Structure 1
Amino acid sequence: MGVKRTVDPEKDFAPPTFTIKELRDSVPKHCFQRDTLRSFSYVVYDLCGIAMLAFGAWHIQMLPMYLRAPAWILYWICQGVVCTGIWVIAHECGHGAFSANRTINNVTGWVLHSALLVPYYSWRHSHSQHHKNTNNMNRDEVFVPRTKSFRGLQGKPSTPAWIEDSVFEDSPLYNLAMVLGQSLFGWPLYLYRNASGPKYARGASHFNPNSVLFRPEQFWSIVISDIGLALTASALIAAGIAFSPAAVLFYYGIPYLMVNFWLVTITYLQHTDAGVPHYNDDEWSFVRGALCTVDRSYGWILNVCLHHIQDTHVAHHLFSQMPHYHAMEATKHLKKKLGKYYNYDGTNFLVSLYQNRKYCEFVEDTGSILFYRNTSMPISPVN
């Protein structure tokens, strides 16, 4: 039993007043420079890792029977991490942070994202709106909190999400199942029907060129995204015929689910926390929204393999065209400038994933600055 924070994050909260120019001036100018060759070196690095892991998996059948299952599990975990690194690079292409050349960004991003069954242009368009409207209750594109009335919880207790009971209380198996379901299948559900998206676009598909998510002039770019997915699906079908469906599942399918896990875990924890507010239009601004992101360390190995997308996300939301290889340096300077407005959580990310899924249940229906709440009655109330 216990409390995640000893200070009420809602008490006397004052939104930040920094301007984007003030924050930009606090970061060395070279951090904004994009080096195409250096960016490609990370692509080569990740592709070599993927090839080496696949080569190792090809020899698993040579191991003693009792070692094969652990070896496959190790391969799935490691390949999922490395492929998520490729996803991060493709995501960087969508922001124009990979290269100063727009064509290089788009071609590279389309190839890499298509290989991971991600519709490059479709997601780039909606993700751009997320960056422009982060933590705006009416215009953000992903992980938009549901209100208490939407959840149908009128008349229920409304406990601040930062007050916790034991992490193992209140149907832990149910909460664990919800975490796993969200982590493994939340990403394709978001692409297919905009799960966790805003009211105006619920049910909209990233695969539909006529979706409300897109403008009419974006029609053909969405089609090009779908063509990329079709090519990858065709290659997987051909591989299944040439080798076996089981081979495709083991070498690609399960690592793909692991990529889904990392994507949802990273993005969910970057934007969901008991101490981070959401704003209605009257209090929202770009800088306020961007500073509602949370940096989290996943340990040195994962931080490096995931290209620091999870522990430099505040810098990324402020300056999305900044290459990832400058983000660590930029973060050091931003931390000094931001002070108490820099959000960092050093809790183990798996614990945070469970806690946030359990406690960050809804926000109130009214108000300009909204913090997550839940219906749990705390075992140990805070004095």
Structure 2
Amino acid sequence: MAFTSANSLLQLKYSSHQKPILNLRRNIALHHHSPGNPSILFRKGFTHQSQRQFLPTSKFRVIRAVAIPLEPAPVESAEYRKELAERYGFNQIGEPLPETVTLKDVITSLPKKVFEIDDVKAWKTVLISATSYALGLLMISKAPWYLLPLAWAWTGTAVTGFFVIGHDCAHKSFSTNKLVEDIVGTLAFLPLIYPYEPWRFKHDKHHAKTNMLKEDTAWQPVWKDEFESNPLLRKAIINGYGPLRCWMSIAHWLVVHFDLTKFRPNEINRAKISLACVFAFIAIGWPSIIYKTGIMGWIKFWLMPWLGYHFWMSTFTMVHHTAPHIPFKYSEEWNAAQAQLNGTVHCAYPQWIEILCHDINVHIPHHISPKIPSYNLRAAHKSLQENWGKYLNEASWNWRLMKTILTVCHVYDKEQNYVSFDEVAPEESGSIKFLKKVMPDYA
């Protein structure tokens, strides 16, 4: 699922784990009694090496040197990863994937059946989404005003299922008939007024360049020079990556997908067809809704569920790839297997959300191979757990996880991955400090 960077705002950390520095301020003197048999002479308060020869040896205690294995780096330490998981709201933080492992190694470990397209299962997802969306519209029409938020939450989640169906079509994992996929994908995106082909072109790049600095079209850290370039922009970025982050996909939708100059010449014609479909839906659908229900009806039946969809679009995407311990790398040091297996997060949501959104949050296998249909993602994830389980990042959706992302994962830093806005610009980051105070901290 593709997303936005601060570049969208141009056009309209709590740091990650720092490697602890062991500061050994011990005053020692070395004395070799014989070759190959070193000893350490230790005396509390002994600070000047040259004084050693004037001190009586009776004041020293002779300790034989022992070879002590170095502690593993924090990222390799199971205890430290457990501590980070607790701090960030994860169930598990995976250990680093060895450089020798390739993406092909991971793909070939998956059972072949998870790649199989089943038209019956595919159309079952359409039935689930159509039924749940219709039920949501009925709930909106019947609910008293105080229950409307619940009806909007259901309907917004249900229409997110349409997006997931179009998402499968874009990856050619919905149907064995490719023309059917393009038609279904276009229609599924229409209630969201999302142009199918422009989104597909950009989303393919997200999969090819996951967690690659400047190249990934999903969530990117904010660049410091960009952040400091303009006070007005800086305030917009702080709010956009802070309290408004769960709706930032709206900026991405508006800025990226309707600008034909952002596409290659061979993509233009297909992009134009998608845009024509979207504008036709707006020209026919919106007036029809307003004619039948009035402006308030348009807000109730379309706008509020649409905002609910964008809540999930933004939330799902940032949770999939954003955490203080997950690095973004330049192309020359980027590793596909590490980015897709180590850089993607599996997050479990309440069951009704998983059903309505067709398991899109079983996201690690989707990044191992986008050709896996959504209805096979759970089987693929089970295989990954069996073969690569210790490398996986896994969480259950919780307040601490969201608080970490909203208040920590901000400005890019090569050593720490992220630096939070309130560290970089404390006087202007009142909204971030407010989130830290008011958001619950339980996982």
TM-based fold match above 0.5: yes
Matched-pair contact (CA < 8 Å) for 2:163–2:189: yes
The residue aligned with 1:131 is 207
Which stretch shows the higher mean deviation, 20-29 or 70-79?
A: 20-29
Instruction: State the 1:3 CA deviation.
Output: 11
Matched-pair contact (CA < 8 Å) for 1:209–1:220: no
The residue aligned with 1:231 is 280
1:335 aligns to 2:403 (yes or no): no
Name the SS of the counterpart of 2:380 in structure 1: helix
Matched-pair contact (CA < 8 Å) for 2:140–2:152: no
Q: 1:105 aligns with which of 177, 181, 194?
A: 181
Change (3 A) 1:361 1:112: same
The residue aligned with 1:301 is 352
What is the total number of aligned residue pairs between the two structures?
Answer: 332
Instruction: State the 1:341 CA deviation.
Output: 1.8
The residue aligned with 1:181 is 244
TM-score, length basis structure 2: 0.69
Change (3 A) 1:137 1:5: closer
Matched-pair contact (CA < 8 Å) for 1:121–1:221: yes
Percent of aligned positions with the same letter in both sequences? 23
The residue aligned with 2:420 is 374
Please list the CA deviations of residues 269-299 of structure 1 after superposition, one character each: whole Å capped at 9, or x if unmatched. 1111012111112221322221211111112
The residue aligned with 1:165 is none
The residue aligned with 2:31 is none
Please list the CA deviations of residues 49-73 of structure 1 after superposition, one character each: whole Å capped at 9, or x if unmatched. 111222233233xxxxxxx122211
Summarize the alignment of residues 210-225 of structure 1 with structure 2, pairs less than 5 Å apart.
210-211=261-262, 214-225=263-274
Amino acid at match of 2:272: V
Amino acid at match of 1:265: T
Summarize the alignment of residues 279-298 of structure 1 with structure 2, pairs less than 5 Å apart.
279-291=329-341, 292-298=343-349
Please list the CA deviations of residues 20-75 of structure 1 after superposition, one character each: whole Å capped at 9, or x if unmatched. 23212222111100112320111012101111222233233xxxxxxx12221111
Please list the CA deviations of residues 220-279 of structure 1 after superposition, one character each: whole Å capped at 9, or x if unmatched. 111111112112212112221233111111011101000000100000111110121111
Which stretch shows the higher mean deviation, 175-184 or 131-140?
A: 175-184
CA distance in 1, matches of 2:389, 2:141: 50
Amino acid at match of 1:229: V
Instruction: State the 1:6 CA deviation.
Output: 11
1:248 aligns to 2:298 (yes or no): yes
Matched-pair contact (CA < 8 Å) for 1:209–1:218: no
Change (3 A) 1:77 1:179: farther
Summarize the alignment of residues 134-145 of structure 1 with structure 2, pairs less than 5 Å apart.
134-145=210-221
Summarize the alignment of residues 18-167 of structure 1 with structure 2, pairs less than 5 Å apart.
18-60=101-143, 68-152=144-228
Structure 2 unmatched runs, 5+: 1-13, 21-72, 77-94, 230-236, 424-432, 437-443
CA distance in 1, matches of 2:358, 2:163: 10
The residue aligned with 2:64 is none
1:267 aligns to 2:330 (yes or no): no
Amino acid at match of 2:407: K
Please list the CA deviations of residues 292-350 of structure 1 after superposition, one character each: whole Å capped at 9, or x if unmatched. 1111111222222211111x1110011101111111011011122223321112351x4
CA distance in 2, matches of 1:105, 1:290: 25
Amino acid at match of 1:223: K
Matched-pair contact (CA < 8 Å) for 2:209–2:215: yes
CA distance in 1, matches of 2:156, 2:127: 17
CA RMSD of aligned residues (A): 2.8
Name the SS of the counterpart of 1:97 in structure 2: coil
Name the SS of the counterpart of 1:108 in structure 2: helix
Larger Rg: 2
Please list the CA deviations of residues 103-152 of structure 1 after superposition, one character each: whole Å capped at 9, or x if unmatched. 11111000111221111000000000010000011311121212334333
Amino acid at match of 1:207: F
Change (3 A) 1:260 1:352: same
CA distance in 2, matches of 1:30, 1:271: 27
Change (3 A) 1:7 1:48: farther
Q: 1:192 aligns with which of 254, 273, 278?
A: 254
CA distance in 2, matches of 1:343, 1:334: 12
The residue aligned with 1:358 is 407
The residue aligned with 1:156 is none
CA distance in 1, matches of 2:175, 2:155: 26
CA distance in 1, matches of 2:18, 2:245: 29
CA distance in 1, matches of 2:309, 2:395: 22
CA distance in 2, matches of 1:264, 1:375: 20
Name the SS of the counterpart of 2:251 in structure 1: helix
CA distance in 1, matches of 2:108, 2:241: 43
CA distance in 2, matches of 1:262, 1:227: 26
Matched-pair contact (CA < 8 Å) for 1:10–1:371: no
Change (3 A) 1:179 1:147: closer
Please list the CA deviations of residues 171-203 of structure 1 after superposition, one character each: whole Å capped at 9, or x if unmatched. xxx98986442223x12210222xxxxxxxxxx
Amino acid at match of 2:113: H
Name the SS of the counterpart of 2:245 in structure 1: helix
Amino acid at match of 1:215: R
Matched-pair contact (CA < 8 Å) for 1:192–1:206: yes
Amino acid at match of 1:322: I
Matched-pair contact (CA < 8 Å) for 2:15–2:420: no
Amino acid at match of 1:113: F
Matched-pair contact (CA < 8 Å) for 1:175–1:357: no
Matched-pair contact (CA < 8 Å) for 2:16–2:419: no
Amino acid at match of 1:182: R
